[in-house]
Each structure stands twice: as structure tokens, then as C-alpha cells.
């Protein structure tokens, strides 16, 4: 079949100019490598850029599980019918989920999981006799997806929410715990965790009887794999408990090993009321997301008033079971932690004398270099320079991404220490070239 490479397909968040300048078509993936339609091979340093491909590409076991389930039974409705893979997957997640999260429903994308979690929170309050609660508090700089309710928790990192305003009402935003460029220009711990305290202020000013949930990523993507100070999440948990506000841990990126633990919230010693997960749940092999809730919530919600044709999809659930099986048998979460620590150390040591690198941080195989043209003022790195670094790396065979003012790395969990050693000199050369172009070095 003849087709024009750009004319019929609509890409997401890609401008006309970018399309005209030339867009990569990825045609093959194996392990940590992908290949484009011109035969160029790259190390995929961001697991498919949106970071789902935890396992790496091309695992036969996942293909087999998908094939077997299609031949067994390719579709079952989620309404008044159950299916074996979905029940098994819910039981498996109940074993590994954080805290008391014990019951699950499945959707196709992270956005839908966020949407369903917000609906579930509202239903919980409804059945509890608290029918007025509908507001959701999120954080400036957060990202929680593209759907109607999710848009109200989108934060301010992307222009996407602003373009679609006015969206669903009831979205409230507090500052993120982004200490490197603190919203209040304070320093932890002297700041008294003002960013967490802000949650209590906004609940009180908006009416505690109207606030349904707080949603946040344990480690936040918005500024480049940002971990809050250790006392942040306990403070948030306390405020939620005080006002009967449900705490949703959005594990869409963090979940299933990305941060070196099975779930990101495990780093912070608190238990969420709900989680959302997607991406590494199936390692990107097929679309699937999950909402997990405690029994306390599921028992209250007499009837989850929701119906989605592809909810609890048996083929996608079978894929997730195969993926989690490999994570466990091959100790992938531990690999993410160990190689992640090695990558973090290599980045901290290797970039410490580079004038454009402000802070190197991360957890597990999710590491970022926060970039700045001026280390003293911590000014944000212009997007054009970040893109130029990304392009330099691509020309040298590495796919990396810009996030906020940072360059972010999130390779598959099969990325090894030798791969770190091979990557570092290439990355340093890209940064030095850009510093030269910016006049930061001779």
C-alpha cells in the first residue's frame, strides 16, 4: 500500500512546522534499542519518550500471552460480566499494591484512570452522604492526563489545559514541592513546608465540605523527576485526614518499578486512599490502566456508576499479568533501583563541573539534570537550548527528552551499568557543545 508519511495521520502535540522539519518513524524495537525507517538505531533513554516501556521491547512471553488470550476469548464486557485475566490481575495487584489498596478496575489510559479515580472519589462521598464534595486539589506543574475531569488536575506545565478552558469546574491548584526553584523562594526545612500547608489553606478557603480529593504524583514529572522532601507526603496525608479529603497517589509513571520501588508512594511512608496506574503496568505493549482503592472506599461505593466498552479488557489484563510476572521473576524493580543509583551517581559526578547543570536528581531509573544558563540565579533553561541538546543526543544515537527546564532519562529496566558507562561521555559532549553555543564555555 502506498501512503504519504505525514498526510493522513494526526500526531499529538506536534506542530505543523515540526512535521515539515521531519518526524521520526520508529519501525523496530528490541531490548533498549529502537530503529527508525531510515535504518538508524538509537538507545531509547526514555522508554518510548512517555516512559511506558519498562521491560524493553520485543518480549516473546508478552506476545504469547496476548495471542493466547485472543484465541481463548478476545472480549468480555465489564458490565455485569467478569473475566479470568481481569480477576487474576486484580488479585495480583492486591498482593503488590501499597498500603490497604485492595480492589481494582481497569481502563485503557492513564487519563481515564485519573478520570475514574475522581469519579470514584465523588461516588464515595456521595454514598457517604457527603454529596456536595466535588473539588479536586492538584499542583501547579502537575500532569494528570487529557480528559474532562483530569484536565482540571492538569496543572500549569502544559498549555493544553489553558487552551481547553473553561473545563470541568472544581479544579484547584497549590504550588508543587519543587525546592530547586521554590515557589516561595524559601529553603527546606526552614520553609516549614509552606507548599504542603497551602493545601490546608485552600481547603479552608474553598470550603472543606466541597473538597473531594487531592491528587499528586509521588515523584513528579513536571520539573524532571522531582522528589519532594521526606516530610512532604506525611504532611499532606495529615491534612487530607483532618478534612476527610481522599488522597490519590497518581502512579501512572512511578508505578511498577520506575522509581526503584514497585510504587512511588512507598518511598514516603504513607498510605494513599487510591492509586492510579498505567504505562509500565503493561510496559506499553498494549493499552491498560488501573484504579486501585481501599476496601473502605469500595465497600461504600455500592455501584460504580461507570461503563466503558474496553474496561477490564481480558487481552490487556493478560498482557499485564505476563509483564508483572517478568518484573518479579527477573527482579526488575531491584534492577531499576541499583542501576538507577549508578546512573544518578554517574550523572552527579560527571556533570558537576558543567556550568549549565543546576541540579541532578532522581529515583530509580528516572534521573534528570535540571538545566540553567546561570547557576547563581537558577534561571530556567530556554526551550530552544533543551531541544538542541535533545537533537545533539539523537544525532549520536540516543533518544532523550526535555521536561520543564530539565533533561530527563528513564530507560527500560534492562538498561545496565555498562550502558550507563557508554552513555555518559556522549551526554557530556552534547552538553559541552551546547554550552559552547550558548557562550558558557570557550
Q: Which residues bind ligand PLP (CB under 6 A)?
A: 50, 109-111, 114, 143-145, 217, 221, 250, 252-253, 278
Q: DSSP states of 14-62 as a string?
A: --HHHHHH----EEEEEBTEEEETTS-EEEETTTTTT---TT-B--HHH
Cβ distance to ligand PLP smaller for residue 12 or 185: 12
Q: For 124-155, what is the HEC assignment?
A: HHHHCCCCCCCEEEEECCCCCCCCHHHHCCCC
Contact 236, 307 (CB under 8 A): no
Closest separation in Å from C-beta 283 to ligand PLP = 13
Rounded CA gap, 146 and 120, in Å?
Answer: 18
Burial of 127 (0-12, 13-18, 19+ CB in 10 A): middle
Q: How far is the CB of 51 from ligand PLP (least distance, A)?
A: 8
Q: Which residue is nearest to ligand PLP (CB)?
A: 110
What is the distance between the alpha carbons of residues 404 and 285, in angstroms, rounded to a whole number? 27
| Closer by beta carbon to ligand PLP, 144 or else 361 | 144
Measured from the CB atom, the residue of 366 and 415 that comes closer to ligand PLP is 366
| Closer residue to ligand PLP (CB): 101 or 253 | 253
Nearest approach, Cβ of residue 253 and ligand PLP (Å): 5
CB of 329 to ligand PLP, least distance (A): 26
Which H or E run contains 424?
helix 417-438
Query: Which C-beta is closer to ligand PLP: that of 154 or that of 440?
Result: 154
Residue nearer to ligand PLP on the CB measure, 278 or 407: 278
Q: Which is nearer to ligand PLP, 62 or 252 (CB)?
A: 252
Let me know: does 226 contact 191? Beta carbons within 8 Å.
no
Decide: 431 and 351 in contact? Cβ < 8 Å. yes
CB 208 within 8 A of CB 132: no
Closest separation in Å from C-beta 362 to ligand PLP: 15
Distance of closest approach, residue 225 Cβ to ligand PLP, in angstroms: 11
Pairing relationship of beta strands 26-30 and 33-36 according to DSSP bridges = antiparallel
- Closest distance of CB 55 from ligand PLP, Å: 17
The answer to whether the CB of 196 falls within 8 A of the CB of 239 is yes
Amino acid at each position: 500500500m502506498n501512503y504519504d508519511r505525514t498526510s493522513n495521520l494526526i500526531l499529538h502535540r506536534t506542530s505543523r512546522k515540526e512535521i515539515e522539519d521531519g518526524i521520526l518513524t520508529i519501525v523496530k524495537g528490541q531490548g533498549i534499542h529502537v530503529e527508525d525507517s531510515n535504518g538508524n538505531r538509537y538507545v531509547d533513554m526514555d522508554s518510548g519518550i512517555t516512559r511506558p516501556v519498562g521491560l524493553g521491547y520485543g518480549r516473546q512471553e508478552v506476545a504469547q500471552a496476548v495471542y493466547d488470550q485472543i484465541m481463548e476469548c478476545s472480549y468480555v464486557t465489564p458490565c455485569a460480566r467478569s473475566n479470568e485475566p481481569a480477576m487474576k490481575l486484580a488479585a495480583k495487584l492486591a498482593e503488590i499494591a501499597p498500603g490497604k489498596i485492595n480492589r481494582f478496575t481497569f481502563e485503557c489510559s492513564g487519563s481515564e484512570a485519573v478520570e475514574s479515580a475522581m469519579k470514584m472519589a465523588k461516588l464515595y462521598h456521595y454514598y457517604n452522604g457527603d454529596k456536595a464534595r466535588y473539588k479536586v486539589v492538584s499542583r501547579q506543574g502537575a500532569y494528570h492526563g487529557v480528559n474532562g475531569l483530569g484536565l482540571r488536575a492538569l496543572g500549569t506545565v502544559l498549555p493544553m489545559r489553558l487552551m481547553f478552558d473553561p473545563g470541568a469546574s472544581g479544579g484547584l491548584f497549590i504550588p508543587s514541592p519543587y525546592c530547586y526553584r521554590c515557589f516561595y523562594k524559601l529553603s527546606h526545612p526552614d520553609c516549614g513546608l509552606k507548599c504542603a500547608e497551602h493545601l490546608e489553606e485552600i481547603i479552608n478557603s474553598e470550603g472543606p465540605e466541597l473538597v473531594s480529593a487531592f491528587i499528586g504524583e509521588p515523584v513528579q514529572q513536571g520539573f524532571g523527576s522531582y522528589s519532594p522532601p521526606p516530610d512532604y507526603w506525611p504532611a499532606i496525608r495529615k491534612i487530607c485526614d483532618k478534612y476527610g479529603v481522599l488522597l490519590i497517589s497518581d502512579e501512572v509513571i512511578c508505578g511498577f518499578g520506575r522509581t526503584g520501588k514497585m510504587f512511588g508512594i512507598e518511598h514516603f511512608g504513607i498510605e494513599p486512599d487510591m492509586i492510579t496506574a498505567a504505562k509500565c503496568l503493561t510496559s506499553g505493549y498494549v493499552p491498560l490502566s488501573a484504579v486501585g482503592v481501599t476496601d473502605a472506599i469500595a465497600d461504600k461505593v455500592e455501584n460504580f456508576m461507570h461503563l466503558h466498552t474496553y474496561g477490564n479488557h481480558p487481552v490487556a489484563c493478560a498482557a499485564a499479568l505476563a509483564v508483572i510476572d517478568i518484573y518479579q521473576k527477573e527482579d526488575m524493580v531491584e534492577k531499576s533501583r541499583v542501576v538507577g543509583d549508578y546512573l544518578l551517581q554517574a550523572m552527579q559526578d560527571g556533570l558537576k563541573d558543567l556550568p549549565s547543570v543546576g541540579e541532578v536528581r532522581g529515583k530509580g531509573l528516572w534521573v534528570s539534570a535540571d538545566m540553567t544558563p546561570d547557576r547563581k540565579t537558577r534561571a530556567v533553561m530556554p526551550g530552544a537550548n533543551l531541544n538542541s541538546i535533545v537533537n545533539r543526543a539523537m544525532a549520536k544515537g540516543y533518544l532523550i527528552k526535555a521536561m520543564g527546564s530539565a533533561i530527563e532519562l528513564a530507560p527500560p529496566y534492562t538498561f545496565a551499568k555498562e550502558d550507563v558507562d557508554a552513555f555518559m561521555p556522549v551526554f557530556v559532549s552534547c552538553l559541552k557543545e551546547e554550552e559552547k553555543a550558548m557562550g558558557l564555555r570557550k
